[in-house]
Amino acid sequence: MSGLIVVNKPSGYTSRDVVNIIGKELKQKKVGHTGTLDPMATGVLVVCLGKYTKLTELLTSLDKEYIAEIKLGIETDTLDITGTVLEERNVRTTKEDILRVFASFLGEYQMEVPKYSALKVNGKKLYEYARNGEEVKLPIKKVYVYELELLSFTGDIITFRAKVLKGTYIRSLIRDITHKLGIIGTMNNLVRIRQGNFKLEDAYSIEDIKNNKYQILKIKDVLNIPIYCLNALEMKLVRHGNKISINSNDKLILCTYQNEEVAIYEKKDDLYKPKVMLI
């Protein structure tokens, strides 16, 4: 079995927990996901089955959209409400200030990666350093924020929608937003509502999957990639990972042969070269 399942990850589960559950329920050995969600977070988690696990890097690169809550007046070591409280104090801000600061974060900026994350430094995950009380220089990475929309501001809770490039930590974004407001705050809730063309309203719960109420998607269902039907000679070249010449201006194409998905090819100069092999 090969394909994609869009899962609505429940709170309290790691992304790996979801992968393990689906692998067990569907009796699949090759299962992966395309973008880690924090255990407290919910929402879209795209799970790959079989040969579609080769698509993980391509799908992880898709833009992501979130609904997040900021709890004002509290700061924690994990940058979310589940962590150890480092500081609490009364804070004040205004809707006007929030909108001004949101606007200042649009575009590219340098973000410090949170210490409680799975990013590896010197072969070791950052959260392992944090849990062991070891000091480590936190990496700075370039991120991109496409949209920040204030949804509500009531009492000590700010709710907003964010559309961001891959690799953007919403916890760190919240830290940076509150610091620029001159106050403290932490992530109180997070829902991923979209990843590329995968939407929350199309996602299945763990119970749906256990009850066999789900749909397995194919590339053509979810990615805007033109299909190119290979002839026998082209198929021979593609099978060996060779470049091919195709009269097309599309950046990516899905190569098929006798109705079977064979590979995703990417245009480089005047030729197409393999990006993802599916055979």
Active site residues: 38
Point out which residues pair with 43 in neighbouring strands: 9, 192
Return the amino acid letter for 194: R
Quickly count: other Cβ atoms within 10 Å of residue 87's Cβ. 10
**What would the two tokens of residue 266 be?**
């990417």
């990666």: which residue's tokens? 113
Got the DSSP string for 32-61? EESS---TT-EEEEEEEEGGGGGGHHHHHT
Query: What is the DSSP code (8-state) at residue 169?
Result: -
Q: Where are the beta strands (DSSP E) in 134-212?
A: 140-154, 157-164, 185-195, 198-199
